[in-house]
Structure 1
Amino acid sequence: MTEWVIDTSSPGETAAWGELLGRQAETDEKIWLLGSLGAGKTHFAKGFARGLGVTAMVNSPSFTIVKEYEGRLPLFHIDLYRLSEEEAEEIGIEEYFEAGGVSLLEWPIRLEQWPEDRLEVEIQYTGETSRQLTLKAVGERWKEKMKELQNDENARN
């Protein structure tokens, strides 16, 4: 597992990191968003969608469970907060993982089994507007991308 810790000072900066990662996303990738309520998962998701070329307004799918957006790849923004493990399994969330788009999943803890290849983004409060993003590449796909990003001077500045 490859891990990268990033400090952000504003919601806009959190979204900018989402956008950078969205530009790197490829077909059938899975991005797990972890963090408490209000941590900034939706800000990150908005940026990620922008990086995929989504022009529609992105908001939390807490009540609809899944929102689909069109960009250079389809984006499946999934929020399992309101579901139990059993309900999450019953509605077939895993089908989105191989649907030819990118799955951006909030509250993945509700899933019993996690795909072996994914990027985990944990967002933690560090201040009123500041956050710490911990990116964890699980599997080979994102390990290589994270190495490239860490070596890219533009990504760090």
Structure 2
Amino acid sequence: MIFPNRCYKLSNRWFYLAAALVIAVVFGTALYLQYVLHQEPCPLCMIQRVIFIAMLVLFAMAALHNPGRGGAKAYAGLLSFLAISGVAAAGRHIWLQHLPKEQVPACGPGLDYMLESFPMAEVWKELMHGSGECAEKGWTLLGLGIPEWSLLLYVLLGAWAVMIAFRKSA
């Protein structure tokens, strides 16, 4: 049993809304880290933020739409794709942070410069490749850094979307 019996009486709308609120809190935390604690996001952090925003939008749309079984499966598919993409970006970020110092790639140009100077395909390639600033470890909680927490959250949110799609609703 994935959900307790009393949860079967709740509409899927509440489960979608809960996930959207979790992502909103996480995104608010990221903004706090950036603007209050002055931890500038690296290129891979920016990609992870975009993925979280896309997931937030989809969870919010699903909460408003309150789809039936087929729609819930469609949302689960899209959200799972985004979660897997997030796992890939966070995994790359974690890998860069655990490289020996001599193997860390050089810092690349800033995002503003890349957007002005490079074609979009090249910008995405550079962002996904990561750079030296992605290897820096910043804020941690319980011994885990931001990319580790992001990876964990992507896995949980993807599983949450799938569980919503296959639960027996009211």
The TM-score range, normalised by the shorter chain, is under 0.3
Q: TM-score, normalised by structure 2?
A: 0.24
Q: How high is the TM-score relative to the length of structure 1?
A: 0.26
Which entry has the higher C-alpha Rg, 1 or 2?
2
Q: Higher relative CO (CA 8 A, sep ≥ 6), structure 1 or 2?
A: 2
Larger helix fraction of residues: 2
Q: Structure 1 or 2: larger strand share?
A: 1
